[in-house]
Amino acid sequence: MTEMLAKNNEVKNKVKKQKKSQFKEICMRFSKNKLAMFGMIVIILLIIMAIFAPFIAPYSYDEQNLKRSNMLPSRQHLMGTDNFGRDIFSRIIYGSRISLQIGFIAVGIGVLIGGTLGSFAAYYGGVADNIIMRFIDVLLAIPSTLLAISIAAALGPGLTNAMIAVGVGTVPNYARVVRASVLTVKEQEFIEAARCIGVKDHNIILKHILPNAMAPLIVQATIGVASAILSAAALSFIGLGIQPPIPEWGAMLSAGRTYIRDYWHIVTFPGVTIMFTIFSLNLFGDGLRDALDPKLRR
Amino acid sequence: MGDILLKIEDLAVSYTTDNEKVRAVNGINIIVEKGETVGLVGETGAGKTTIAKAILRLIPTPPGKIERGRIIFEDKDLLKISEHEIRKVRGNEISMIFQDPMTSLNPVITVGNQIAEGIRIHQKVSKAKAEILAGEMLEMVGIPLERFNEYPHQFSGGMKQRVVIAIALACNPKLLIADEPTTALDVTIQAQVLELMLKLKEDFNTAMIMITHDLGVVAEICDKVAIVYAGQIVEFGTVKEVFKNTAHPYTKGLFAAIPSISGQKLKRLHHIPGLMPDPTNLPLGCQFSPRCNCKLECCDELPSEDIYINENHFLKCHLYAQKQKEG
Amino acid sequence: MYRYILNRILMMIPVLLGVSLVVFSMIFIAPGDPARIILGDTASEEAVQELREEMGLNDSFVKQYVRYIKNIVTKGDLGTSYITQRSVTAEIADRWPTTMLLAVMSVILGTFIGIPAGIISATRQYSILDNLAMILALIGVSMPNFWQGLMLIIVFSIHLAWLPASGFYGPIYWILPVITIGTGTAATITRMTRSSMLEVIRQDYITTARSKGNKESTVIMKHALKNALIPIITVIGLQLGRGLGGAILTESIFSIPGIGKLMVDSIKARNYPVVQGGVLFIAIAFSFINLFVDILYAYADPRIKSQYSRKRIKKNSEVCND
């Protein structure tokens, strides 16, 4: 009996070691990809910027100074000021908080709802699958920009509503990804084996199926944060979602629109920031995809 | 001693991936005469497919590299001629059949057109004529003409392989390289396809290099056989010689591993212990010595040379060389 | 084959009904009283209540929804615009061709740039050209198209004065907006073409094609491309749909009188019938585009053609950034 237990422990340790070395291998593969590392560093910097915004930004984001409005970039104002005399550089730094918040929460909503729907649909199949996928089809029938805009219009302005609107817009995507992964894993024999020895359904989904379906989901989620930030910016650009004076990058673009003839800097900097953020997120996501499954090597 | 059709001299091929260099082929010599069938036998990873692909220069050259050697075909060194010239050889004078029929055919082109394409590349005929010729090839491999416009996925594995054979033989090549053509098929289909190949070989008098790991196939269809191990030919000779007077310890091991239907049935299957050497880290001396149970001291340090038993049979083995010196 | 098409069209109906329900519900919960919006803030409370009765706004949700659907199905009546009092259908019909033109041109531009770029990238993998193309494509995908539009206006309309910044009266007006939407499309198609080609080039049948003595260009253009193009068709179709979405913001920036601008203006003005009708219309158009793409896909891939599959054809959404 003790012999069995000892062997059991031995196996457990071997498995743990393998998992650790698997993780190490993935990290190694990722670190070889210079562009992906660049993306990751930028994102980390962005997160730091968001957390320590009050310490980094030279001015507050709503500090108006009408005597110094619409000034081009100078040493005092690295990115110039907007039409209310607010420092654009500081607003962009504070804006990172909003964008990252929306990005992660919206994707969180999408993954949670979409992922649950997708795994249910795939695991139980049949009628449940049909109903859920029809519902997803309905959401998919509307181009996602339009969907987010419509939901935001229906819910009204505000940060929370913007997050919900963008989040719901991403649900169909994650539902499909998770459903596809679960369907593939479901067919494999070890699931049948687990069922044979009596593992309960929810345990099968949580412990056996989901870990294997993680990889595509993680990649999609990373790229999804990028999409969410874009969608949120689009929403504020139209005037839905975030309201002034909150310095969301898209809102800054919208506000600066009327001044592009004479003051190009008001729209340029927020736009470049958005692009750079999305670019880095995409690099990171691509790198993750390549590292998690080398067979998918581009 | 007939006319020599193809002569491979000291061919060495390597693949470089990331930081490792895989030495797939390490100095082999093969001679194929007109109308002759030479078998290349060896385990997976021995380098057989690399040899085959090297002949037609199908090895992708970023990771792959021809380290040295010559492949003489009709007075030309295939490794040195221009891209334009080797294209004239491919599918025309030398054809190749690949291992997995399920993936060797283009899924979006009809089988008939895939055969006709080969004809049109090398022969100046009209599209209509090429299709007629392709149809004839189709029938020759036993597929009804009505199926000309069907797609590969509509055929079974064995029939797909027949199509592949038809494509390869469409321009009546002098040499056919068959890379494990029956490995992916059931045994009964295997027999059919082999029979077809034998018949076509006789009809067209095509020389053939038959790559296989199945000694039974060698016995049935080959005139000569080369045993490949770790990128080298460790034994070569006529089938009769190699089967009757097996000389190399590895070859002996291969034969011993075949289950016998006669004699003592209850014995455990014999196997050669160990694995083939890591191609990124080949041993210094004889490649087989780590696994050999009759090795001498020099085997681990000195690479072995070709020792001729008679004009139809040579091998690479220090032990044999020693025996030959003694006796 | 026809059974498959019919089947798909039949399946579209419940989906579209679902869309109409979703759209109707969203408008239902949206803030603002339609009657008040029409009459304005100065109107009296009685007038507003009277209008509410007249418009049937006090009926139950279900009753209003059923009435809505009935109107659409029997009369093609999507409602009346609160602002112009014209029928929504007329408003949409006026603007639809413009948006369609914009979307189609953007996809054409994207395809003409994207596919060759993807092929070159794939055949010269890891070369400088490949890396450059990949980075450019990634930038194209990452750039918010409303910002890109503004930047183009700043450079080409304001500073260089080469191209107009608004309106849609002739070919010269098309250039900037089409580039704005088209860059994202080109970027996505480049990435998709590259990855699809790379996968195909790895296949055994490509080696077979080479072993027959084909020129490398034939191997790529005939054997590889034909196979690689199949999933790309789906992406192109999706990009057309995305073009409809992208048009929403681009039209606002360039003041193009299309459906996108109509949507944005109507949302701001709380002109709900137009929003409702517009979203429904776009959803219908989008569904038809998807259906068309699926049919094209089935035709292009002989494996599917020969078995008008019961399964839904998986679309490659991995690279599709909306």
Q: How many CA atoms lie within 13 A of A98 on its CB side?
A: 28
pLDDT for residue A238? 82
Q: Quick check: A145 contacting C, CB < 8 Å?
A: yes
| CB-count exposure of residue C206 (10 Å: 0-12, 13-18, 19+) | buried
Q: What's the pLDDT band for B250 if we cut at 50, 70, 90?
A: confident
For residue C212, give the nearest of B103, B108, B167 by CB distance: B167
**A219 → chain C, closest CA residue:** C318
Q: How many CA atoms lie within 13 A of B268 on its CB side?
A: 3
For residues A130-143, average pLDDT: 85
The three-state secondary structure class of B7 is strand
Low-confidence ranges of chain C (pLDDT < 50): 309-322
Mean pLDDT over each residue of chain C, to the nearest integer:
84
**A263 → chain C, closest CA residue:** C154
C150 within 8 A of A260, measured Cβ to Cβ: yes
Strands (E) across C70-177 are located at: none
- Beta partners for B177? B96, B209
**Are the beta carbons of B90 and C210 separated by less than 8 Å?**
yes
The β-bridge relationship of strands B37-41 and B175-179 is: unpaired
Q: Which of A221-230, B31-40, B291-300 has the lowest mean pLDDT?
A: B291-300
Using a pLDDT cut of 70, give the percent of chain A over it: 96
| CB-count exposure of residue B254 (10 Å: 0-12, 13-18, 19+) | buried
| A38-79: pLDDT as tens digits | 999 999 999 998 888 888 888 877 778 777 777 888 877 888
- The subunits that touch chain C, with at least 3 C-beta pairs less than 8 Å apart, are A, B
Which value, in Å, is the radius of gyration of the alpha carbons in chain C? 24
Please tell me the distance from the alpha carbon of residue A93 to that of residue A281, in angstroms, as a whole number: 17
User: DSSP code of B282?
Assistant: -
Please tell me the distance in Å from C195's CA to the nearest CA on chain A.
6
Q: Residue A42's closest CA among A223, A219, A283?
A: A283
| CB-count exposure of residue A232 (10 Å: 0-12, 13-18, 19+) | buried
Looking at beta carbons, which residues of chain C come within 8 Å of B164? 208
Please tell me the distance from the alpha carbon of residue C173 to that of residue C157, in angstroms, as a whole number: 11
CA-angle at B314, arms to B310 and B316, nearest 5°: 145
Count of B-C CB contacts under 8 Å: 70
The type of residue at B126 is S
Please tell me the distance from the alpha carbon of residue C275 to that of residue C261, in angstroms, as a whole number: 11
Please tell me the distance from the alpha carbon of residue C259 to that of residue B84, in angstroms, as a whole number: 56
Please tell me the distance in Å from C286's CA to the nearest CA on chain A.
6
For residue A286, report the phi and psi dihedrals to the nearest 5 degrees.
Answer: -60, -45
> Dihedral of CA A99/A104/A108/A114: which sign?
positive
**Are the beta carbons of C213 and B107 separated by less than 8 Å?**
no
For residue B90, give the nearest of C204, C212, C302 by CB distance: C212
**Are the beta carbons of C213 and B98 separated by less than 8 Å?**
no
| B67-83: pLDDT as tens digits | 999 999 988 899 999 99
Q: Which helix (H) or strand (E) holds B234?
A: strand B232-238
Q: Residue C57's closest CA among C273, C256, C264?
A: C273
Count of A-C CB contacts under 8 Å: 140
The three-state secondary structure class of A208 is helix
CB within 8 Å of C3: residues ≥ 6 apart: C308
CB within 8 Å of A234: residues ≥ 6 apart: A145, A148, A149, A250, C144, C146, C249
pLDDT for residue A276? 92
A280, B120, B238, C58 from B144: Cα distances, Å: 58, 21, 38, 74
This prediction has a pTM of: 0.84
pLDDT for residue C167? 80
Mean pLDDT over each residue of chain B, to the nearest integer:
87
Q: What's the pLDDT band for B37 if we cut at 50, 70, 90?
A: very high
Residue among C24, C28, C147 with most chain A CBs within 10 A, to mutate: C147
**Are the beta carbons of C306 and B109 separated by less than 8 Å?**
no
pLDDT for residue A297? 42
For residue B108, give the nearest of C204, C215, C226 by CB distance: C226
Please tell me the distance from the alpha carbon of residue C295 to that of residue C298, in angstroms, as a whole number: 5
pLDDT for residue C317? 36
Please tell me the distance from the alpha carbon of residue B233 to that of residue B230, in angstroms, as a whole number: 8
pLDDT at B144 over 90: yes
What SS3 string covers C28-85? HHCCCCHHHHHHCCCCCHHHHHHHHHHHCCCCCHHHHHHHHHHHHHHHCCCCECCCCC
pLDDT for residue C41? 77
The type of residue at A84 is F
What SS3 string covers B107-127? CCCCHHHHHHHHHHHHCCCCH
The β-bridge relationship of strands B64-73 and B76-77 is: antiparallel
DSSP characters for A42-79?
HHHHHHHHHHTHHHH-SS-TT---GGGTTPPP-SSSTT
A180, C17, C49, C232, C295 from C57: Cα distances, Å: 43, 21, 9, 47, 42
Q: What's the pLDDT band for A9 if we cut at 50, 70, 90?
A: confident
Q: Quick check: B257 contacting C, CB < 8 Å?
A: no
Please tell me the distance in Å from A247's CA to the nearest CA on chain C.
16
Residue among C22, C166, C183, C191 with most chain A CBs within 10 A, to mutate: C22
Buried b / exposed e over B189-209, threshold 16 CB at 10 Å, is bbebbbebbeebbeeeebbbb
pLDDT for residue C187? 93
The β-bridge relationship of strands B175-179 and B207-212 is: parallel
| B220-240: pLDDT as tens digits | 889 999 999 888 898 999 999
C148 within 8 A of C226, measured Cβ to Cβ: no
**Are the beta carbons of C150 and A253 separated by less than 8 Å?**
yes
Using a pLDDT cut of 90, give the percent of chain A over it: 11
Please tell me the distance from the alpha carbon of residue A90 to that of residue A247, in angstroms, as a whole number: 9
For residues A101-111, average pLDDT: 91
- The subunits that touch chain B, with at least 3 C-beta pairs less than 8 Å apart, are C
For residues B32-49, average pLDDT: 88
Please tell me the distance in Å from C193's CA to the nearest CA on chain A.
11
ipTM: 0.86
Higher-confidence residue of B179 and B320: namely B179
pLDDT for residue A253? 86
Helical H runs in chain B?
48-55, 83-89, 101-104, 111-122, 127-140, 157-169, 187-204, 215-221, 239-244, 249-256, 318-326
- The subunits that touch chain A, with at least 3 C-beta pairs less than 8 Å apart, are C
C247 within 8 A of C107, measured Cβ to Cβ: no
Q: Residue C37's closest CA among C51, C26, C53, C24?
A: C51
Q: Residue B229's closest CA among B24, B13, B9?
A: B24
Q: What's the pLDDT band for A298 if we cut at 50, 70, 90?
A: very low
Is the bond into A73 cis (omega within 30 degrees of 0)? Answer: no
| A175-234: pLDDT as tens digits | 888 888 887 777 777 777 877 888 777 777 677 776 777 778 888 888 889 889 888 888
**Are the beta carbons of B108 and C214 separated by less than 8 Å?**
no
Please tell me the distance in Å from B134's CA to the nearest CA on chain C.
14
pLDDT for residue A115? 87
**A226 → chain C, closest CA residue:** C142
**Identity of the highest mean pLDDT range in A119-128, B161-170, C152-161, C230-239:** B161-170
For residue C211, give the nearest of B58, B100, B103 by CB distance: B58
Please tell me the distance in Å from B104's CA to the nearest CA on chain C.
4
- Beta partners for B209? B38, B177
H and E: helices and strands count for chain A: 12, 0
Q: What's the pLDDT band for B119 if we cut at 50, 70, 90?
A: very high
A235 within 8 A of A241, measured Cβ to Cβ: yes
pLDDT for residue B53? 92
